[in-house]
Amino acid sequence: MRLEISGVCHRYDQVEALRDINLTIEPGEIVALIGPSGCGKSTLLSIIGGLLKPSEGKISASGAVPDGCLNPLTYVFQDFALLPWRTVAGNISLVLEDHKLSKAERAARIDEVLEQTGLADFRNAFPKQLSGGMKQRVGIARALAVRPAVLLMDEPLSALDAQTRILLLDEFSALFARTGMTAVYVTHNLNEAVRLAHRVVALRRRPGTIKEIHTIDVPIDQRREGDPLIVAHETALWELIRDEAIAADKELENVA
């Protein structure tokens, strides 16, 4: 599915959050959104996903969706949002239960995504028995179960420790390379953006506008932690947003 973001602006009362955002996301492309705190990254993601109506502009979608797609635009959040009384399989099943699927079809989808996310041995475990990384894997599996055309990811690794984050980055990169899915990934972490995205969109602080679009032409599944080229891209991105990130942090300190 191709997404076209045309002239998107958004205001919260008197606060202008986004101004004149124009961006095209091609099928199979991973686009990361970065920028200082308060630049409108999550607001833009909410507009793309239809959770928020822009003050101006529009989002257009075109092209085919995957076979068996139940929800073209699907979210993965920082908060795992798992039901504690349901097993791993039961939490995944939740997103399928309002759709006209037979019991066998539902079971097949659950089996498929458990395998994709390395959770097959944990299907009967409850959330309290899982680590943070395993819980986020369940969140990913639940999103994949509807076979989305576009995955919308809002800082999905920010609540995890550094070691778990690196492990999941490896798994995400393998998943994206294997499935060729389309995703929009919001993050404060430049390493995540460089490891996972084909293009990184750097936003200026409020009102959020596109400062630059940074292309990373190394295949996602060939990017490795600590590789000099990856570090060079991280450095370039930090140079892009450094001054505004520092100003945004000082603004937050003054408010506190």
Residue 247 has pLDDT above 90, yes or no: no
User: Cβ contacts of residue 81 below 8 Å, gap of 6+?
Assistant: 139
Strand, coil or helix: 14: coil
- pLDDT at 253 (0 to 100): 60
Q: What's the pTM?
A: 0.91
| Cα–Cα dist 218/243, whole Å | 27
Residue 199 burial class via C-beta count within 10 angstroms: exposed 0-12, middle 13-18, buried 19 and up: middle
Mean pLDDT, the chain, as a whole number? 91
* pLDDT tens track for 172-183: 888 888 888 899
- pLDDT at 246 (0 to 100): 83
Check whether domain 1-18+30-62+161-169+189-256 has CATH 3.40.50, yes or no:
yes
Residue 254 has pLDDT above 70, yes or no: no
Domain boundaries, the chain: 1-18+30-62+161-169+189-256
Residue 55 has pLDDT above 70, yes or no: yes
* pLDDT tens track for 184-203: 999 999 999 999 999 999 99
The closest alpha carbon to 71, from 108, 101, 28, belongs to 101
The closest alpha carbon to 31, from 209, 166, 151, belongs to 151
H/E stretch holding 112? helix 103-116
User: Cβ contacts of residue 49 below 8 Å, gap of 6+?
Assistant: 73, 75, 152
- Mean of pLDDT values over 117-133: 93
